[in-house]
Chain A
Amino acid sequence: MSAVDPTVLEPEPLKDAGAAADRRSARRERLRLLVRNPSAIIGGAILIFWIICAVFGDVIAPYSPFATDFDGHLPPGGTHILGTDQLGRDVLSRVIIGARDVLIAAPICATIGVGLGTLIGLLMGYYRGWLDDGLGRIIEAFLALPVPLVALLTLAALGSSTTTVVLTVGIFFTPIVARTVRAAVLAERENDYVQAAKLRGENGLYIMFREILPNITGPIVVEFTVRIGYAVFTIAFLSFLGVGIQPPTPDWGLMVSEEYALIIGGYWWVTVFPALAIASLVIAVNLVADALQEVNER
């Protein structure tokens, strides 16, 4: 610049040096809030417990989950803290090892659902028009379906395997995620930076993925966590119905379904402990999701 106003040369300081430092650590700040949040602490603790079970299950579990060399239906206590089942397998070991499949399957379901849903939501929110109308209608129709029934039929038709269960659950999550993401994109695209990108000649893909997506990660992360919770429940439910994970895998839903009829006979422990495991994991994930959302909205 040829001639510069001397008064302008004096660079304006940062908005607020103290605050700027805070903002630099905005993410750290959010983490701090999260760590202080009671639902995050409780949910996180339970979640970590199950993750440890999933990873170190073989070491922690007192017996092999498949070993049938004990007496059947031993009540809780003694050498079998949670008792044994009909076939004489140790319930505690089966519950501990059972965490593994669900903790692998549920995040995969959520990833499929959130991945596809984000893609579709971005397309709908960014392009709007006929694309949005068309996909919107499909989503509405989809959401009106009795999901468990349709999932059941799908799996019955495709045959159950862990892969089909995970794919089906993931795809069933997609429309809900798409709707959330679409709403976020609609709000975000009102910003002038989207306009500026168009005036710069950016294409739609760049604007969607490089400009808009980084700014809507908050709701997407929340959606991801919520979906994990639903996935745990849905997988267990499908196993319970017999179209999910197949025996003899130590799956919680399967364990509940195998012997729930025997509760009346007094053998409650075989059913109740895996059921509690499902409930605690679903609740834990939801507590974490709630906390994330709360921190996000501040």
Chain B
Amino acid sequence: MSATEQRTAALKVEDLEVAYDVRGVLRPVLRGVSFEIQPGEAYGLVGESGCGKSTTAFAAVRYLPGNGHITGGRTLIGGDDVTAMGDEALRELRASRISMVYQDPGQSLNPTIKVGRQVAEAFAVLGASKDEARERAVEALRRVRIADAERVMERYPYQLSGGMQQRAVIAMALACDPQLLILDEPTTGLDATVEAEVLDLVATLRDETGAAILLIAHNLGVVRRTCDRVGVMYAGRIVEEGIAGEVFDDPQHPYTVGLLRCLPRRGAAKSERRLDTIPGSLPLIGTPLPACVFEDRCTLATAECRTVLPTAAHPRPDRTVFCHHLDRVGELVAAPVTAAVGEVAPGDVVLQLEDVSKTFRQGGHEVRALVGVDLELRAGETLGLVGESGSGKTTLAKAILGIHAADQGGVIRLDRETLAGLTTQRPADARRAIQIIFQNPDSALNRSKTVRSILSRALSKLAGLTGQAAEDRLEKIRDEVVLSPRHLDLKPRQLSGGLKQRVAIGNAFAGDPRIVVCDEPTSALDVSVQAAILNLLADLQRDEQASYIVISHDLGVVRYLSDRIAVLYLGRLMEVGDAATVFAGPHHPYTEALLSAVPSVDGDPPARIRLEGEVPSAIDVPSGCVFHTRCPRAIEGTCEASEPPLVEVETGHMMRCHIPIDELRRLQGSDAD
């Protein structure tokens, strides 16, 4: 940063300390955070949930909740001390020089007011006249790449997709031409392809406006793609800081090393290795901490770490790390991965889908959410389902579970027996054979019951166990999902996210299921917790010979768990094959685009494919190959005219595309060069 050293930082945070008043007691959450963002620079903050990322962002602009207090340090925006500012100056600063975008665009938009008026309002408060504000709103929407700005102005927020809403919010945030744009989890909850678009937009806007960006994200790939530098936070301190790519490729702080080792990266698969976890968890708010905040969970910790505050060290150029034992971090990096404990050889076919379709009726239209799906699942095998939102993943899973009945004509067979459409019409055996682990344990566990009563009920209904037999089995399940006995008498809200998900998993496994659907099983969890849950799922599968159907937008997770992958687009299977084959390629053009859209912590391929536009409506499906409207490799004259069949292009590798596999191999090989 030597060239920019002389410039005034867009945001400078110095030794910032923040505490929250919890029932009269000040509980420190930030313990001296310092960092700087230069004009035009993008800075990322990462770390487990609860480490203080959002508090930092709020404190930087003095926008803390009522019980938050800045207890030390200061923040400067463009050289002006925000912490010492009067109310008037602060209002002025917030109105004209900084903007914030939050995770949920729904929260930033008023559902009852047309988008146009809301965006125009952002200009009106800056003093524009009514007409002028409107004009500039249209312009602003164009700037965030909303093609049909005039028409979008007339819509209500709910009439826009999540990605469009987030763009409108960004357009509002840019109204004042901010010097500093703070984005708090701006793409969480968006689809990978939409996320990629929003991130590209942020990058372009940064180039255009020269605004500095503070980006908070729990997804390290997002930070790597968007940010120049990154700060890794732990328990209210930044423990490591440096250039994003370098930090993720060559971490130097024990915490950063641990965090990165939790991730299923670089094509890790359950058959090869277990994931590392970071034992323990983030300290609780208000607990007194040792000098090095990471001491409790650090395997390198010594007596010194408890008492002496680590000072900034610079083991690499452009890198700051706070740790006493930098010389030993290499041990952690080089530590061998834990090998997988035996592999499951897939057994007989348990589940067979033939020509399964699902049509919803909506306002007189037919919505074909699933069209002619043929699939097989073997015992002990994991099938990963991937595709954008609206591609039919959940619809397919629900049809298998019998939550809704598939259309007449298709067949779902369990052990060669044809299953009735709805779970209520299926025999008890079939019902208990197919269970689900939901995405959000808060919703999946009844909050008025204790863990014990939740699990006991599952045992009595699914396994038919009562009395002593049930108690014994309850103990066994508790042990299998690694819960401690005292957890049994707690209610879900008293458990952390990871523990809740363990209860949900125990619940699904109560009746010895043959098939377990995992719908985004870890997307509500932190990476270290995610690693533990993925290990648990792999263990249970090995011990119980269960088959999994895994739905996740995190391709690392899908790849880690899956033996086979099915790619869905607009309710149709586009590609099916072994996980290794599907990820290695040659890929179906849609899979190729999907893989390239997902921001990876390992960095992006040199030539990234940008998938433009949104998934077409399932009411009005494109002609020919349904993907042709967005396919970068579409062959004019062929693809819009006829729909290619799903054919086996190599052994065990099915694809639906007009381009022959060898041609795809050639095309994709040459792009990579």
Contacts and interface: CB of A to CB of B under 8 A. Distances in A.
Interface of A: 1-5, 7-20, 23-24, 190-193, 195-196, 198-202, 211, 214-215
B498 interface: yes
Interface of B: 274, 276-281, 284-286, 338, 341, 401-403, 423-424, 428, 431-432, 434-436, 438, 440, 443-449, 457-458, 461-462, 479-480, 482-484, 487, 490, 493-499, 507, 529, 532, 535-536, 539, 543
Contacts of B444: 191-193, 196
B493 A23 contact: yes
A3 B482 contact: no
22 contacts: A1-B539, A2-B543, A5-B535, A8-B535, A12-B529, A14-B499, A15-B494, A16-B496, A18-B284, A18-B285, A20-B490, A20-B494, A193-B443, A195-B438, A196-B444, A198-B403, A199-B401, A199-B435, A200-B458, A202-B461, A214-B446, A214-B449
Given A16-B285, A199-B431, 14 more contacts: A1-B480, A3-B539, A5-B338, A5-B532, A8-B536, A15-B494, A16-B284, A18-B286, A191-B443, A193-B443, A195-B436, A198-B424, A200-B458, A200-B462
Contacts of B286: 18
Contacts of B434: 199
A204 B487 CA distance: 29
Most buried by B among A5, A12, A14, A211: A12
Nearest to A9: B482
B484 A11 contact: yes
B498 A12 contact: yes
Contact of A13 (B281, B461, B482): B281
A1 B498 CA distance: 19
Contacts of A3: 341, 539
Nearest to B479: A1
A7 B532 contact: yes
Contacts of A16: 284-285, 496
B115 to A, nearest CB: 26
A6 to B, nearest CB: 9
Nearest to A1: B480
Nearest to A200: B461
B403 A199 contact: yes
B447 A215 contact: yes
Contacts, number: 119
Contacts of B449: 214
Given A1-B479, A7-B279, A11-B484, A199 B428 contact: no
B493 A192 contact: no
A20 B280 CA distance: 17
B609 to A, nearest CB: 35
Across the A-B interface, give the 10 residue pairs with the lowest CB-CB distance, nearest first: A214-B448, A15-B496, A192-B444, A192-B438, A192-B443, A10-B279, A7-B277, A193-B446, A200-B461, A3-B341
B438 A196 contact: yes
Contacts of B284: 13, 16-19
A32 to B, nearest CB: 10
Nearest to A214: B448
A269 B438 CA distance: 66
B280 to A, nearest CB: 6
Nearest to A193: B446
A88 to B, nearest CB: 57
